[in-house]
Amino acid sequence: MRIQLISGILLLASFTISCNRESVKIPADAGVSRELATFRRESLSAIEYELHFSIPAQKESQIDATAKITFELKSKNPVILDFKPSYEIDGKIPFVTFINGKRREVKYENEHLFIPARFLVKGKNSVEIEFRAGEQSLNRRSDMLYTLLVPDRARTLFPCFDQPDLKANYTLSLEIPLGWEAVANGKMTSSDTLKEKVKMNFSTTEPISTYLFSFVAGRFEKIMQSRASKEINIYHRESDPNKTAQFETIFNQIYGSLEWLEEYTGIEYPFTKYDIAIVPGFQYGGMEHMGATLYSDRTMFLDKSATISEELNRAKLIAHETAHMWFGDFVTMPWFDDVWTKEVFANWFASKIVSPMFPDINHRLNFLNSYFPASYAEDRSAGSNPVQQQLDNLNNAGLVYGNIIYNKAPIVMDKLVNKVGEESFRRGIREYLRRYAYSNASWDQLISILDSLSEEDLTQWSSVWIKERGMPHITVDFSGDSVIYRQSDPLGRGLKWDQRLVSEVVPNSDGMGYGLFVLDSAISEKVLNLLSSNGLKDDVTRLSTIINLYENLEAGHISASQFVSAISSYLKSEQNPIIFSRVVGYLGSDILREHFLQIETLLWNLLSNSPNAQFRSMAFSSYINIATSADASSKMYQIWSSPELFKKVKVGERDLMKLSYELAIRYPDRYNQIKGIQRARLSGDDRKREFDFIYPALSLIKSVRDSVFNSLLCEQNREVEPWAASALSYLNHRLIQERSLEYIRPALNIIEQIQKTGDIFFPSNWLRALLGGHSSTAAKEIVAQFLNERGDLHPMLKLKVLQQSHHLNR
């Protein structure tokens, strides 16, 4: 490889050059500004990438790479490529550039390669670059790696036009060590052995956005099925036969999702292939790279104690990622302020897709349970944000993600479908996909299509629900047989949320209304008595009421003792697993911590006496989380030490790992004993590595805990983000929160680094792990002081802090 050293980063805000006797000023801030993206979108077309990566067996060795980028240039203007590798050599970035066949020296400034107009021509151009691949988003381990480039991380791996509305065709080749497998967006077209490496060539993709480019390489097993002329491969590293036996279910759900979406949209699967890789320690549940969709092993492989909710969640995840093939991959948002559009489609359609897979489940009930509580958790906080947020630069695009876009948006979509009608909505969706195939479309463009099919004013309706933050507060008055709802905007903007509200016996009895239904003392007493006496027979009404009671608990309209008393009276009679799961989840909330001893007894009685195995399993999981007394700790230890003797619940491998962590905190003198026994039980090297990473956070020795914490402040030790978050959460466990107060401020101090170096959910996960176990005034004051002193903190990042510290400000 030919390499030259070029000058390092210069902090320039724009490039100005002379071109055709005119001065052309191009904004070139760090990241990808909206101005730069607009300039390029108007200038470039017909983009193609030919990429090659040579991956050595040694993790420490660099990955040499080449990129050939061809494009049509509308006029002879300069071109700016994005590149932000995670390395420098003597303050410089090494690469070699050929432009239209000639070697040229180009500037590297402010995370960009700047190609002057004099090297380019109007029409077709080619840029060839020899470089060292960046590794920030390469997720590299000793015997595997995978790309994860959403939202703006393609530029951390290779030079590119890293914005979603510059779709391109990709042709990839890889050199990988012997014994490794590889999967990418395209089909493998050839494979040749070269000494100690294998070279794999992959077919050219359909037009896709940069964040969807993907490959996975490493020591994987492969299993294949073919149905209806569609061949699907699953790449995995699982050795537990109880888990590999689940492949048939996974295949069934993938094929079922594809069939449903093809029938609904009228469009056959729009890409060359559909393969998946199940990755240990994957950051998300899944990621929709067409042809190489990634999934977390934790979500896809269920323990033998798995509940119906966990089975349903896996099916929904598969349906969600499959829906993205049409909604997100085939048609993509032009800018990440509209990223929620692909997520709302994926979640809403996932709920529809899984309905026939689980015919015995009340799917209206499941929709209510899946989306409303999670949405309220952020919408009630001071960190609430609109569904559609303003985004000036893609380097902040990760901050757009959260419960609002994943959970409030499907609620809003459901209201939209009810407003325009199922058939009109389907016609609109088909037109949307046809019109913008392999291209880009915004939410407003979808609304324009649906507006033409409806007599409703969807633009005004959308403005309140999509572009404003927060939720209505709704008071309820009973007058004879009628119910009067009065809606108010708690933020004082005078907004009105257009929605249909129903009340039969209790407020919002059909669960369709969104907001805080404020219960005064008289109404709350009536509702609590109805729940306690099993007077709410309809499942949807009962769950809607429980959710509303919990939200009134959060808002201070009912007390914790009232809530726990009502739940304790009613819960033993609950027969629905979805409702039971939601209630035992609520019982673990920090707002009820003063009642954990009472709740502990309730849960133990349920897991001991319930005739329903799933209910016992759910009660057991919640019991582990809230157990406080010495008696509870003793019971947990007995279960962990002799799980085969505990007949009430099937205790799986991850249950035992969780128990070992909790017991190490409760029995610090048995730390080494617990460690030795638990590690010897583990199957698979990946789970052993996970255990070895997390377990030291539980040490009684302060210097060991401090060492773990300080290691987490270093980027290289956060490479497997779920493990890092778990270690941080155990350092800040609720039972030892007093001794971990000193960790809060240093961990908050690096939140900007967490955002820049971590993946999209990691800032929230980091903050939740740090603060979730704290409930003291001291912790509240540390967070408040941080926010007061950091007025320069990006507003979207501040919202994340406010969301995850909401419980400290009750």
User: pLDDT tens digit string along 42-63?
Assistant: 999 999 999 999 999 999 999 9
How much is the pLDDT for 484?
87
Q: What is the pLDDT of residues 231-243, one digit of tens each?
A: 999 999 999 999 9
Question: Among 114, 97, 159, which Cα is nearest to 15's?
Answer: 114
Q: What is the rounded CA–CA span in Å between residue 214 and residue 505?
A: 53
Residue 772 has a pLDDT of 98
* 312-362 per-position pLDDT tens digit: 999 999 999 999 999 999 999 999 999 999 999 999 999 999 999 999 999
User: What local confidence, expressed as pLDDT, does residue 217 receive?
Assistant: 99
247, 263 contact by CB (below 8 A): no
Q: Residue 730: how many CB atoms within 10 A of its CB? A: 24
Max distance between CA atoms of the chain, in angstroms, equals 86
Question: What are the pLDDT digits (tens) for 557-591?
Answer: 999 999 999 999 999 999 999 999 999 999 999 99
DSSP per residue over 632-672, as a string? HHHHHHHHHH-GGG--SS---HHHHHHHHHHHHHH-GGGHH
The CATH label, of 1.10.645.10, 3.40.50.150, 2.60.40.1730, 3.30.750.24, for the domain at 1-217 is 2.60.40.1730
pLDDT of residue 8: 33
* Sole residue written with tokens 């193609």: 48
Percent residues over pLDDT 70 in the chain: 97
Query: What pLDDT, on the 0 to 100 scale, is given for residue 3?
Result: 34
Residue 709 to residue 705: CA distance in whole angstroms: 6
CB 107 within 8 A of CB 114: yes
Provide the CB-side half-sphere exposure for 701 (13 A, CA). Answer: 9
> Dihedrals φ, ψ of 306, to 5°?
-60, 140
CA separation for the pair 553, 451 (Å, rounded) = 39
The tokens of 518 are what? Answer: 């404020």
Average pLDDT, the chain: 95
Which of these, 422, 412, 417, 372, lies nearest to 388 by C-alpha position? Answer: 412
- Written as six digits, the tokens of 195 are 């000494």
Question: What is the 8-class DSSP label of residue 327?
Answer: B
Please report which confidence band the pLDDT of residue 9 belongs to, taking 50, 70 and 90 as the band edges.
Answer: very low
Q: What is the pLDDT of residues 357-386, one digit of tens each?
A: 999 999 999 999 999 999 999 999 999 999
Tell me the mean pLDDT in the region 498-523.
93
Percentage above 90 pLDDT, the chain = 92
The answer to whether residue 73 scores a pLDDT higher than 80 is: yes
Q: How far is CA 219 from CA 239, 605, 721, in A?
A: 12, 46, 21
- Cis peptide leading into 56, omega within 30 of 0? no
Mean pLDDT of 544-554: 98
Q: Give just the sign of the alpha carbon dihedral 682, 722, 613, 248.
A: negative
Query: Which pLDDT band holds residue 11 (cuts at 50, 70, 90)?
Result: very low
When pLDDT is cut at 50, 70 and 90, the band that residue 4 belongs to is very low
Question: What is the three-class DSSP state of 230?
Answer: strand
Q: What is the pLDDT of residue 563?
A: 98
Torsion of CA 368, 371, 373, 376, to 10 degrees: -120
Query: CB of 511 within 8 A of CB of 546?
Result: no
Residue 475, helix vs strand vs coil: strand
The conformation of residue 438, written as its DSSP 8-state character, comes to T
Locate tokens 């999702």: which residue?
Answer: 257
The DSSP output letter for 404 is I
- The H-or-E segment that residue 222 falls in is strand 221-227
Edge-first strand order for the sheet with 221-227 is: 221-227, 230-236, 276-279, 293-296, 286-287
In this prediction, residues 507-513 reach a mean pLDDT of 95
Which pLDDT score is estimated for 7?
Answer: 32
- What angle is formed at CA 21 by the lines to CA 16 and CA 26, rounded to 5 degrees? 25
- Provide the 3-class DSSP secondary structure of residue 407: helix
Residue 24 pLDDT level (bands cut at 50, 70, 90): low
- CATH architecture, range 220-326: Orthogonal Bundle (1.10)
pLDDT digits (tens, 9 = 90+) for 76-98: 999 999 999 988 877 788 899 99
Q: How far apart are CA 373 and CA 361, in angstroms?
A: 19
Is-contact 627 633, C-beta < 8 A? yes
* Residue carrying structure tokens 């016992």: 616
339-467 homologous superfamily? Neutral Protease Domain 2 (1.10.390.10)
pLDDT for the residue 523: 92
Q: Which residues of 692-712 are buried (b: 16+ CB within 10 A; e: fewer)?
A: ebbbbbbbeeeeebeebbebb
- Which two structure tokens, joined as six digits, stand for 701? 């020795």
Which 3 state secondary structure label does DSSP give 350? helix
Residue with tokens 């007894």: 601
DSSP single-letter state for residue 10: -
Contacts of 491 (CB under 8 A, 6+ apart): 469, 470
More confident position, 229 or 505 = 229
SS3 letters for 551-608? HHHHHCCCCHHHHHHHHHHHHHHCCCHHHHHHHHHHCCCHHHHHHHHHHHHHHHHHHH
Mean pLDDT for 196-202 is 97
d(CA 353, CA 275): 19
For residue 537 the two structure tokens come to 């027979």
Is the model's pTM score more than 0.85? yes
What are 608-637's pLDDT values in tens digits? 999 999 999 999 999 999 999 999 999 999
Cα dihedral 724, 728, 733, 736, rounded to 10, equals 140
220-326 and 339-467: identical CATH topology: yes
Tell me which residue of 425, 396, 411 sits closest to 466, measured CA to CA. 411
Spans of all domains in the chain: 1-217, 220-326, 339-467, 705-810
Please, which pLDDT band fits residue 503 given cuts at 50, 70 and 90? Answer: confident
Give the integer Cα–Cα distance in Å for 137 and 540: 43
> Dihedral of the CA atoms 712, 713, 715, 721 (nearest 10)?
40
The C-alpha atoms of residue 419 and residue 421 are separated, in whole angstroms, by 6
pLDDT over 50 at 748, yes or no: yes
114-135 confidence digits (pLDDT tens) = 999 999 999 999 999 999 999 9
pLDDT tens, 159-192? 999 999 999 999 999 999 999 999 999 999 999 9
Q: Distance of alpha carbon 352 from its chain centroid, rounded? A: 20
Place of tokens 């790449």: 235
Taking the alpha carbons at both ends of the chain, their separation in whole angstroms is 60
